[in-house]
Amino acid sequence: MRLLFLGDIMGKVGREAVIARLPDLRRRLDLDFVAANAENAAHGFGISEAIATELFAAGVDCVTTGNHIWDKREIVSYIERDQRLLRPINYPEGTPGRGAALLQARDGRRVLVVNLMCRLYMDALDNPFAALDRVLKLNPLGRGAAAIIVDVHGEATSEKMAFGHFCDGRASLVIGTHTHIPTADALIMPGGTAYQTDAGMCGDYDSVIGMEKGPALAKFLRKMPGERLTPAEGPATVCGAFVETDDLTGVALRIVPLRIGGKLAQSMPEVVARRPVLA
Ligand SMILES: [Fe+2]
Ligand SMILES: [Fe+2]
């Protein structure tokens, strides 16, 4: 199966870049399933129903989020209605929405997406390891789900790497979000799980993690309340990772970072045409 995961979609330029490029990416990379983190899609803070609808129409199959999930209050009622929109799984019991969903890939096979939030330098949510363990035990890779994607939304690289090893052999892809900078550690772990500490954001990199650099810099220079941060509006780089999985076992065969457009060094996975499956 061919999967694409896109990192935090940042504001209008991030959204527009994803919407403009995704239909072509789906064709060129022959994608079966696309997931994207969109916790910053609404002007940097949260996501609205209209934006989620736009992303789904552009070819995103599942939207993950993180600490900004509740920034737009209207999302509370929407998340109850649409299982393709996830919030971190380790919010306390009774929180609206869900942190995992079994969704259909292009050919009807089922893909499990899990969204969790780390705890180092972040909100003190419930134990994300325990929550993830429960859902992975219910959906064994290759049996309960043809592929499994885990979005690890966190600040600390150590905690995210620990999640990679925790899932090794049990997920197709464990990929970090939240820090908005793509890391150069895309690899296949010994048990077959593809891993990258941060997918990078889909946004303007001439910025401070996607926000206008002037006001963001001022916040570091003067320890006073300053201007409200707004997303930078230069050309966006669409950032993420492309993963190819084994059809029988669901583990990853390869992972290639994807970076197109904007300021970053470009990276486009090469794919070969697939042979038809013999019955
Ligand atoms: Fe983010
Ligand atoms: Fe975040």
Which tens digit of pLDDT belongs to each residue from 37-56?
999 999 999 999 999 999 99
pLDDT of 63 > 80? The answer is yes
Please write the tens of the pLDDT for every residue from 123-180.
Answer: 999 999 999 999 999 999 999 899 999 999 999 999 999 999 999 999 999 999 999 9
245 Cα: distance to centroid of ligand 1 (angstroms)? 27
Nearest ligand to residue 40 Cα? 1
Which of the four pLDDT bands, split at 50, 70 and 90, describes residue 279? Answer: low
Give the containing element (helix H, strand E) for 63.
Answer: strand 62-64
**pLDDT at res. 275:** 74
214 neighbors 116 (Cβ within 8 angstroms): no
pLDDT of 204 > 70? The answer is yes
Q: Which residues are catalytic?
A: 68
Q: What is the mean pLDDT of residues 235-249?
A: 98
264 Cα: distance to centroid of ligand 2 (angstroms)? 21
8 Cα: distance to centroid of ligand 2 (angstroms)? 8
Count Cβ atoms below 10 Å from residue 58 Cβ, excluding itself. Answer: 17
- Residues around ion ligand 1, judged by CB within 5 A, are 8, 39-40
Nearest ligand to residue 209 Cα? 1
Nearest ligand to residue 201 Cα? 1
Q: What is the mean pLDDT of residues 113-117?
A: 98
Percentage, residues of the chain above pLDDT 90 = 95
pLDDT of 195 > 70? The answer is yes
Count Cβ atoms below 10 Å from residue 215 Cβ, excluding itself. Answer: 14
Which of the four pLDDT bands, split at 50, 70 and 90, describes residue 274? Answer: confident
36 Cα: distance to centroid of ligand 1 (angstroms)? 11
276 Cα: distance to centroid of ligand 1 (angstroms)? 39
Nearest ligand to residue 117 Cα? 2
Output the CA–CA distances (angstroms, integers) from residue 212 to 4, 43, 229, in the order listed: 28, 12, 7
pLDDT of 7 > 90? The answer is yes
244 Cα: distance to centroid of ligand 1 (angstroms)? 25
Percentage, residues of the chain above pLDDT 70 = 99
**pLDDT at res. 278:** 63
**pLDDT at res. 224:** 83
